[in-house]
């Protein structure tokens, strides 16, 4: 067992020294607070006690939880496209243009991501998962 642990330690040291993996690790560490906010929003929104659901709907908290989930966890890809390039630029030492590099990466991500309008979504399970209302999800 000790021999296996030593080999695993050597392998993990090689991974820790890899530049690309270190950049991705830093990007995910910067994303952690956003992920936590989105996770708590999904958690509090998904409690399936009817009295609790009636309470958050009547007070308007459900809308706030939906929006906070969509703007945090729902947009992780957008945030990561910025943060990976930003971390890469910081690690390479381009401190004056690291934000510009991150924004350029994010804009490239937006240009390459296909846009699917809500009218083309018609599967009810997909509508429940994405949070679209029934008018947008009903087949025409």
pLDDT digits (tens, 9 = 90+) for 62-109: 999 999 999 998 899 999 999 999 999 999 988 889 999 999 999 999
Range of the domain at 57: 2-137
| DSSP 8-state class, residue 138 | S
Q: Report how many domains make up the chain.
A: 1
% of residues, the chain, pLDDT over 70: 84
What average pLDDT does this structure show over 48-73?
Answer: 91
The contacts of residue 131 (CB under 8 Å, 6+ apart) are 66, 70
Tally of residues, the chain: 140
Placement of tokens 């906070």 in the chain: 68
How far is the C-alpha of 66 from the C-alpha of 73, rounded, in Å? 11
11 CB-side CA count, 13 A? 6
pLDDT exceeds cutoff 80 at 121: no
Placement of tokens 């009903």 in the chain: 138
């Amino acid at each position: 067992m000790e021999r296996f642990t030593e080999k695993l330690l050597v392998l993990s040291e090689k991974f820790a020294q890899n530049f690309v993996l270190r950049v991705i690790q830093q990007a995910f560490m910067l994303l952690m607070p956003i992920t936590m906010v989105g996770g708590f929003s999904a958690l509090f929104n998904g409690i399936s006690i009817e009295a609790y659901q009636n309470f958050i709907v009547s007070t308007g908290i459900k809308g706030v939880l939906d929006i906070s989930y969509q703007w945090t966890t729902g947009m992780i890809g957008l945030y990561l496209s910025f943060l990976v390039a930003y971390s890469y630029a910081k690690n390479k030492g381009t401190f004056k243009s690291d934000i510009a590099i991150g924004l350029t990466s994010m804009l490239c991500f937006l240009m390459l991501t296909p846009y699917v309008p809500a009218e083309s979504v018609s599967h009810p399970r997909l509508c429940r998962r994405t949070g679209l209302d029934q008018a947008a999800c009903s087949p025409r």
